Amino acid sequence: MGLLDDNYPGALQRFKAFVRKLCVNKKLLEYDNALKWNVLSSGIAEQAPYPIEGERVFYMPRRPVYREDKETTKLRIVFDASAHDSNQYSLNQQLEVGNNLLPDIITILLNFRIGKIALTTDIRSVPHSVCNCRI
């Protein structure tokens, strides 16, 4: 595993090809709206600042995925952490391999059958004062 190199030239080339493709499909405005409202406003991603001289920066490319068969979300934005230039490492290759920290889904499903009532929630929708925690 090595250090990530500055991938600006490759990311810029990929972005230009992406914009040309969206302009041909006339879906650039739809993609731009999805990016602003779904990804940037929710804090999933942020606009990359201009790099400071001598600072190493890694850009993660993104692309739209259109699903005409979906009723609610026909467009979603997918980030490509596997992208890399030749003889360079990708962001995915920098991840440490360790124990699976996700809970065992079979155990969770079986625990739902134990009691008479089961509750679930999306923790983002619970007010901070209710759970008395920081998110």
pLDDT band at 123 (very low <50, low <70, confident <90, very high): low
Compare 133 and 24 and report the one with higher pLDDT: 24
Q: What is the mean predicted confidence (pLDDT) over 35-61?
A: 78
Separation between Cα atoms, residue 56 and residue 127, nearest integer Å: 38
Domain boundaries, the chain: 8-98
- pLDDT of residue 58 exceeding 50, the answer is yes
pLDDT band at 102 (very low <50, low <70, confident <90, very high): confident
- pLDDT tens track for 80-95: 888 877 788 888 888 8
Separation between Cα atoms, residue 58 and residue 44, nearest integer Å: 17
The closest of 62, 3, 68, 52 to 31, measured between CA atoms, is 62
Compare 49 and 129 and report the one with higher pLDDT: 49
pLDDT band at 135 (very low <50, low <70, confident <90, very high): very low
